[in-house]
Structure 1
Amino acid sequence: MSQSLTAAFGGLLMLVNLSAQAQASTDDAQQPQRISVTGSSLKQVDAETAVPVTVIKADTLKAQGITTVEQAMQLLTANQSSSVTSGAVGAMTAGASYADMRGLGANKTLVLLNGRRLANNAYDGSAVDLNTIPFAVIERIEVLRDGASALYGTDAVGGVINFITRSDMHGGSITLGADAPQHSGGSAYNGSVAYGWGDLSNDGYSIIASLDVEKQDRIKATQRSFGKTGYIPSRGVTKSSGNTFPANYDYTGIDGNTYTTNPESGSCTSPNTFASSNGTCRYDYTSKVDLVPESQRTTGYLKGTFNLPQDSVLTLEYFASQSKVATHIAGVPYSGMTVDAGTQFYPGNGITPAPTGVAIDASQPITAYWRDTASGGRQDQTTNTQQRLLVSLEGMLGEDWDYSTALAYNQNRFSYWLTGGYTNGDLIAAGLENGTINPFGAQDAAGMAYIKAAGASGKLMSGQAETLDWDGHVSRDLGDWLGAGRKAALALGAEVRHEKNYYATEAALATEVVASTGIDPSSGGAGSRDVTALYAEFNLPVLKTLDVTAAVRGDHYSDFGNTVNPKLSMRFQPLEKLLFRSSFSTGFRAPSLYELNSPDTFTNSANSWDDPVNCPSGTPVAGKSASAVCDTQFMVRNGGNKALRPEKSQSATFGMVLEPLQDLTVSADFYWIRLQHQIGALADTTVFGDPTKYASLFHRNSNGDLSISGTDCPGSDCGYVDLTNQNLGGIKTSGVDLSADYRLKTESWGLFRFGLNGTYVSKYIYQNEENGVWIQNVGVYADNGPIFRWQHTLSVDWTYGDWSVNLANHFKSHYMDQNDLANDTYNHHRVGEYSVWDSSVTWNATKALSLTAGVRNLFDTNPPFSNQGATFQQGYDPRFTDATGRTFFARGTYTF
């Protein structure tokens, strides 16, 4: 690593000296101030660049009641979907939240802090967890809506999101706030304190320190009408489980045949149970999940900037954040549990009624499908910690060269804890078999004591991702080579990065709870690699109205080889009020260390299915129980794949910016993206939707079965569906980003500002395998979710004296739902558009005190109905909507 750093830095200095000798400065006149812009290593004079960049000011977000980065990303129209914190419920995502530009996947959106990388979430290595970004000190967010691998390398395929913190602060500030939903659950509280010392211009130094805390209460499924149940058969929602309470069971009749029944004989009167058409009970487990989990976030930030001799500036930056997410889901399902003949709860022995219709062969054990409601719902907590230490130096080399270099250490750590409701599967199996536990009714004292003693809790998994990164670049003006009235510019840069991660499971606890978590006790993995890169960027003014910029970057990865990615962009301004811009680039994303090295894990399929072999057309074959092969969740295997290839992309943009009237700016930026070799796992809807095509992915146990939820799996005889990582094929997408901004200043009524930002997707198709068929996804739920045809944010701001008022509308268009019904009434169900209005008022009461109050979701709009099966929450889709409802908020900031 040190040799690579020395070589790269030495080579860079040689280039600096050679270029400086060859080109002397020809113009000593005072130049306009140049600024750094996301998407370029050249400092710019003009705000409108050759690539489309959206700038979002933090003050604007805070005026709308936004207090987290996750909330801010939901308002970004180029962000097709966002993996939100609610996705942690039942899905073991380490409580992370991600952005997903253009719908290409969160791992193809590069997230930066002050222009430099952070460590990806250690749990799955896919992207930076937005929950760990220090929102309290964010000054602005710059969003590059274009590919940028030619500058930043991997991950910058769909775009780049750069969070810029405050550069200076004089004195201190304290902010306190609270959110109070109209409906129960979901209250939030937040506060921050910050202080700044010194002024870089006058004192030669500037130091900023801040602390930010936030707490969000959970929202239970039963606290919202649209998400309280997962069983609405009239609308295609049939989320339920055959592992219920009282338990369903298989028994052998005196005629020798096997039957399935329930001691309640189909009445199913216990809470959260309902009768099925075959005389058994089903359990509505989705009614026990969190729509929004409980979360806590704490972030500390420290930044010091110091002037050094010879026009250099030294910056020291450290931040640490911790995100805790606690989730609740239904009690553990136990499948295929034996209850011995002659035990006290065996049907017909006096406590549990005998089955009706066919007499039971009392000499044979029965097989129970039981839900452990006695232990309460399962509870887990994920702790995710991010920290970064950065030392940077920038300034001038001689009279001509700007330079910037930095050394950064990034670390992300997670730990996953079981905090309640889990039990030792072996002990539970023994207690059911010997008659200590009653699967068919209330527990007696001995049964409750036994279940309590079988409780299992503690840390189940942990992991860490580390990145040590050095980067440096230099830039300079070269001269007006073509008489355009402006100088050409050159930037040269290098980067050396070392990445490593590990993932470990606590074997003892994992062994106890393998039936309820599917985590392999022996799972664990680690990986590391080195990355070196050189890049260059050259801007040439061809005419007074035309600039052309070329960039190229070459990366070497120690684990898969080399990649070179160029970019060409153009900026044409024929009139003062009219600008055209375009770009073409290639990009790539290296498979993450987790995608390559992650251990195999087993979990339940997202949806319930009929086994295509053992339950064709919804009818079990002879000798198979309906509870085990029909309408149930089967085991799926997830894991890494060392044979993965990098993802490759080509992208192009063409746009225009027009100022037809004073203070009115409109823009349109068209984009086209082609991605090959995308990395991912097939959805269960894809595999079960065509079991013949994907027959090789069905792995059956010695009985010819797929293991179901609650089964002791993995094991020596485990059936599963293989959904491990693979290169799936391509994506083609295109569309246009539209924006308009108008400022109206009046003498009597103050200042009005009207804004519109929207994204229209004209095309999005993808493949599930290399050279496979293309699947349409715009306005249609396909496999893992929809791509919205149109999204926009419309805002009106009014400022008058010490008062300001904000009104904003956030809109997503309709789409066709995931699951279709056989009848015509709801076939091809249309998920309605989602339109939410927010409003706020800010009063600058004194020079030191500012107060803001407002309402999010002003008209209390419920999420549109959806019968999707990708999340534990049902009746709507929590990835694109907010379950909180109308929420009143207040903030107060005092500066001193």
Structure 2
Amino acid sequence: MTLNRLVAHLALLGLAAHTGGTLAQEAGAKLERVEITGSSIKRLADEGALPLEVITADDVRQKGLTSAEDVLRSLSVNAANANNAVSSNSVFGQEGDRLAGGGAYANLRGLGPTGTLVLLNGRRLSNQGTSGGSVDLNAIPLEAIDRIEVLKDGASAVYGTDAIGGVINFILKREYRGVQASATYSTPLDWGGGQQRKVNLTAGWGDLTANGFNVLGSITHSSNVILRGVDRPWALGYQPERGLAPDTSSSPFFANILGQANSALPTAGTTVGATDPTKYTVLNALALNRQCAAVPFGVSQLANATVLSGLGYNAANSTYRCGTDYGRQFMLTPPSQTTSGVVRANFAVGKDATAFVEFIGSRYYSLGEFTPFQFSTSSLPQNATVNGKTYPVGANYPVGGPYYVNMKALYGANQFDPTKSIAYRLRMWDWGYRTLGNESINDRLTAGIEGSFGSYDYRVSLARGQAKGYQEMVDGYADANKLVDLLASGVYNPFLMPGQTQTPEAMAAVEATKVHGRLASGKTRVDQFLANVSGPLMKLPAGDLSFAVGTDLRREFYGYSGTRNYGCVSTFTPANLQATNPVMGCPGNGTAPDSTRKVGAVYGELLIPALRNLEFSLALRYDHYQEIGSTTNPKIGFKFTPNKDLLLRGSYNTGFRAPTPQQLHLATVLLATTGTFPDPVKCPNPTGNNDPSCQLNSIPYLSGGNPDLKPEKSHQGSLGVVFSPARDVTASVDYWQIKMIDRIHNLTPTQELQNYSVFADNFLRDENGNLVGIRAGWINAGGSMTKGVDFTANWVTTLDGNRLTTTLSATKMISAKEQLIDTTPMIQYLGQWTNTTLYLPWKAALSATYKMPVLTTTLSANYSSGYQDEDHTTATNVVEFQRRKVSPYLTFNLVGTFTGVKDLTLGVGVLNLFNRQPPFTWHNVDNAVGTGWDPRVADPRGRTVTFTASYKFL
């Protein structure tokens, strides 16, 4: 094969990945032959017009990475985002999070999972079964992976319109002979959970060259143990000296007694004692005795009047109120079980063709564990009639009940009226943690043929992939009608003091209210036919003009049941109690009806050798989306090599991302806000204000799909240089920018509150002007502009006769501006806290691998720069608690692999070598996961030891 044809193949590497990865394999083999020559210019020739990062299976093993999510989190090009297994297993975040089912997703350039194309052997997997938006990384069988290719550039003209942020192609091993078993175990050295276990068995038979066939199979099972906030001393939600206090109005033991009309504590509050003139609107016996912290997870809220004064906390409602440290209760790593497998058979078909059949499958099950739900009894009016039953005191604690507390007699609450029922707010500690089970099943069957005729290569394949998912209530959820009956009966004691427990009768009644069952399920499917031919078109003075043409035909299906059998409610209103099977606190979602859409595409690419040292690549792709419309996206790139140690490259392209079926068709659902916020109209000055409108919580809001969504469009480009400053050293610098139009965004109540003047019409009010609801959901936002620079370096040298390889990959974000809608200004989010993606100024990975005859050692480092913490200027009037910077996060891993015994490989490693704690952030858990730390940046396990062993039997 001529060098010109090799270069053409390198330039068409993306097309190869898109149609099965065969060309990439062939190009890889040729690249290895070129590298053996030791010529610097031939090494530079390995670099194409687009920046490509390759991670081999050895790299993954030597860095101590155990999952596809681990690999993606280590990449500098992958943004620090809320698409990891901890953050997406959430009931606090956006609607999309609640549909994600504990999955993990890629997010190149911070454009979101739907802007990153994830491929397996160059073909699409079906998107996660419940979200339907993008591929769950848990579906990737990492143990069967040969390498991972990350294209750090838009590729809509080559791979598909949704490849805006880039492409991640996981390439499986093509052939294997023998039998190999391996096991991995890791455990944090600090006390608690977080252990990980993995076993794998891989077997293969046949030589494609000698026998005309090869069959390989690989199966892996892994399990992860939960790590909770109580397992780590730094996981505290109550650190008032640092500006962090829980924004919560409930206590896990003695309930907070609330002021309510016609209840024991009047709305105006009560004085306590003979000398204090303050009228307190919340009372708690634990707080009156300074015992909030004497019960599990209890904390005082005395500091809230200072730390969170801007949210309506003041002396009247904080001094005698207890709260819950939900940072201690929160799940730091989720428990999970994963089983994945691959079976692939290759058959020689004549001299120049290979047919294959390939099946991959995975099952992932995880538990999401969240703080116990909190409710207010005052949300059910007194004398309300529901389902033919009248509640004279609503859900309040009745006068004469065995656990009634006379706060006037016991604690000197002067205006407390012991002849009336008690309204209170309680966290459902006796019901346990809200626990959701999430299962995701993903499989794909592919058949195809790859070969050549003369100077031309062809590839044809047909694949069907499907994913199923469901979500179930495991613990912590209660039937709302049974719950209100229990509360009104007085059998349950909401006023426990330290050392006290519920009676067996009460606990039996609690268990009787619990609800277990499947909430919702979803299914996606993708059928894909790919065909491609490539080769030389004609000879030019500088070499062959090469081409590739192909087609990509898909049929995509999505359906989501929604919360069909239950009504998820957050309050005891008569309307909620009359809903079908109302469940207190479950994460309800609407239905997305079964929908199918066809996508057809044709594409072509030319590689034009204008001069011996100048090449141009041109690509054009036409896609037609049923229901959405058509789009044509071009791409142009160049590669200029003025001398053997210097290469210049650049590209320009456009992109187009159609809204997902979920974003278009998900039905509207009623949810509830978390945390506390002031009404921007009725409480414009919340600091020190005791008006109830300054401390709203659990306000209903509507969210769901939007059939009027338009596609996102992008214009992007890159310009870079690759150079060899010294022998055996190669480095690159690539500038890139991406401009987005009509970005699809899930508008949240928090964002609407922050821009109230823009979204005032979305706030629903009653005849008295009281806020009763908010409209939210998917919209086409304004534009965005993201810019940055990628740096890479590779140095290979000899040290004491052994090979030392050092690699660097870093991304410097220059700007990340977005606008909420067209009429709002662009806002700079670089280095600023957000509740979705963190656009960090720097993210970098550095590793050095020293390879001796029987021992290979890798020291690697991962760095994430600091950023401005959540803006608390509206949360508090204390200047030092308004703005601060989160510290950078730098960790080191040391992994060694020993191969001194035939067929046996042993490995040991220490991750987070210096036991670096996650940097402190004063964000609490509302609207984004993490209290006092951020799972988008940090690993909560601390110093962790890993052990691996593998043995090849045949």
Q: TM-score, normalised by structure 2?
A: 0.85
For 1:387, give the aligned amino acid.
D
What residue in structure 2 maps to residue 380 of structure 1?
A: 436
The alignment status of 1:647 with 2:751, answered yes or no, reads no
What residue in structure 1 maps to residue 326 of structure 2?
A: 285
Query: 2: distance between equivalents of 1:52 and 1:344?
Result: 64
Query: 1:532 pairs with 600, 618, 637, which one?
Result: 600
The alignment status of 1:416 with 2:494, answered yes or no, reads no
Offset of residue 364 of structure 1 = 5.0
The aligned length equals 849
Query: 1:214 pairs with 222, 235, 241, which one?
Result: 222
The alignment status of 1:230 with 2:282, answered yes or no, reads no
For 1:274, give the aligned amino acid.
V
Query: 1: distance between equivalents of 2:466 and 2:165?
Result: 24
Matches within 5 A, 1:309-458: 309=350, 311-337=352-378, 338=380, 340=392, 345-346=397-398, 351-356=403-408, 357-361=413-417, 365-396=421-452, 398-441=453-496, 442-458=501-517
What residue in structure 1 maps to residue 933 of structure 2?
A: 876
The alignment status of 1:299 with 2:364, answered yes or no, reads no
The alignment status of 1:802 with 2:854, answered yes or no, reads yes
What residue in structure 2 maps to residue 692 of structure 1?
A: 757
Query: 1:497 pairs with 528, 535, 554, which one?
Result: 554
For 1:880, give the aligned amino acid.
V
Query: Deviation digits for residues 780-836 of structure 1, max 9, x if unmatched?
Result: 224534311111111111112111111011001111111325323243211010000
Query: 1: distance between equivalents of 2:946 and 2:674?
Result: 35
C-alpha contact 2:264 2:422 (8 A) present in aligned 1: no
Query: 1: distance between equivalents of 2:482 and 2:776?
Result: 30
C-alpha contact 2:338 2:363 (8 A) present in aligned 1: yes
Query: Deviation digits for residues 516-554 of structure 1, max 9, x if unmatched?
Result: 12415x745332211111111111111111111111111
Query: 1:261 pairs with 279, 282, 285, which one?
Result: 282
Q: 1:342 to 1:883 in 2, by over 3 A?
A: closer
Query: 1: distance between equivalents of 2:506 and 2:2?
Result: 88
Query: 1:461 pairs with 493, 496, 520, which one?
Result: 520
What residue in structure 1 maps to residue 917 of structure 2?
A: 862
2:507 is paired with a residue whose SS is helix
C-alpha contact 2:674 2:697 (8 A) present in aligned 1: no
What residue in structure 2 maps to residue 891 of structure 1?
A: 948
Structure 2: unaligned runs, 5 residues or longer: 18-22, 31-44, 92-97, 270-280, 302-314, 383-391, 568-579
Offset of residue 193 of structure 1 = 0.6
Query: 2: distance between equivalents of 1:28 and 1:282?
Result: 73
Query: 2:614 pairs with 542, 546, 560, which one?
Result: 546
The alignment status of 1:725 with 2:734, answered yes or no, reads no
C-alpha contact 2:923 2:930 (8 A) present in aligned 1: no
Q: 1:197 to 1:257 in 2, by over 3 A?
A: closer
Query: 1: distance between equivalents of 2:810 and 2:463?
Result: 36
Offset of residue 126 of structure 1 = 2.3
Deviates more, 1:42-51 or 1:429-438: 42-51
Offset of residue 702 of structure 1 = 7.1
Query: 2: distance between equivalents of 1:341 and 1:50?
Result: 73
Query: 2: distance between equivalents of 1:694 and 1:787?
Result: 26
Query: 1: distance between equivalents of 2:592 and 2:420?
Result: 41
Offset of residue 438 of structure 1 = 2.6
What residue in structure 2 maps to residue 250 of structure 1?
A: 259
Q: Which runs of 4+ in 1 moved over 6 A?
A: 27-31, 253-256, 619-622
Matches within 5 A, 1:387-786: 387-396=443-452, 398-441=453-496, 442-481=501-540, 483-484=541-542, 486-505=543-562, 507-510=564-567, 511-519=580-588, 523-605=591-673, 607-618=675-686, 625=692, 630=695, 632-700=697-765, 705-706=770-771, 719-746=772-799, 748-782=800-834, 784-786=836-838
Matches within 5 A, 1:267-278: 267=288, 268=292, 269-276=294-301, 277=315, 278=317
What residue in structure 2 maps to residue 17 of structure 1?
A: none
Query: 1: distance between equivalents of 2:214 and 2:145?
Result: 16
Structure 1: unaligned runs, 5 residues or longer: 1-26, 707-718
Q: TM-score, normalised by structure 1?
A: 0.90
1:436 is paired with a residue whose SS is coil
1:81 is paired with a residue whose SS is coil
Query: Deviation digits for residues 696-747 of structure 1, max 9, x if unmatched?
Result: 22234677555xxxxxxxxxxxx4332200111111111111111111124x
Query: 1: distance between equivalents of 2:107 and 2:116?
Result: 6
C-alpha contact 1:347 1:355 (8 A) present in aligned 2: no
C-alpha contact 2:457 2:535 (8 A) present in aligned 1: yes
Q: CA RMSD in A?
A: 2.6
C-alpha contact 1:250 1:625 (8 A) present in aligned 2: no
Q: 1:88 to 1:675 in 2, by over 3 A?
A: closer
What residue in structure 1 maps to residue 135 of structure 2?
A: 128
For 1:368, give the aligned amino acid.
Y
1:693 is paired with a residue whose SS is helix
Query: 2: distance between equivalents of 1:620 and 1:558?
Result: 56
Q: 1:872 to 1:255 in 2, by over 3 A?
A: closer
Offset of residue 58 of structure 1 = 1.5
2:594 is paired with a residue whose SS is strand
Query: 2: distance between equivalents of 1:62 and 1:410?
Result: 28
Deviates more, 1:339-348 or 1:468-477: 339-348
Offset of residue 75 of structure 1 = 0.8
Query: 2: distance between equivalents of 1:564 and 1:41?
Result: 21
For 2:194, give the aligned amino acid.
G
Q: 1:306 to 1:34 in 2, by over 3 A?
A: farther
For 2:526, give the aligned amino acid.
T
Deviates more, 1:160-169 or 1:817-826: 817-826
Query: Deviation digits for residues 90-142 of structure 1, max 9, x if unmatched?
Result: 33330110111111112101000011111111222221101110100011100
Query: 2: distance between equivalents of 1:856 and 1:365?
Result: 56
The alignment status of 1:817 with 2:869, answered yes or no, reads yes
C-alpha contact 1:88 1:327 (8 A) present in aligned 2: no
Q: 1:202 to 1:687 in 2, by over 3 A?
A: same
Offset of residue 434 of structure 1 = 3.0
Query: 1:180 pairs with 175, 187, 192, which one?
Result: 187
C-alpha contact 1:867 1:874 (8 A) present in aligned 2: yes
Query: Deviation digits for residues 451-496 of structure 1, max 9, x if unmatched?
Result: 1111100111100011111111111201222x01x20111111111
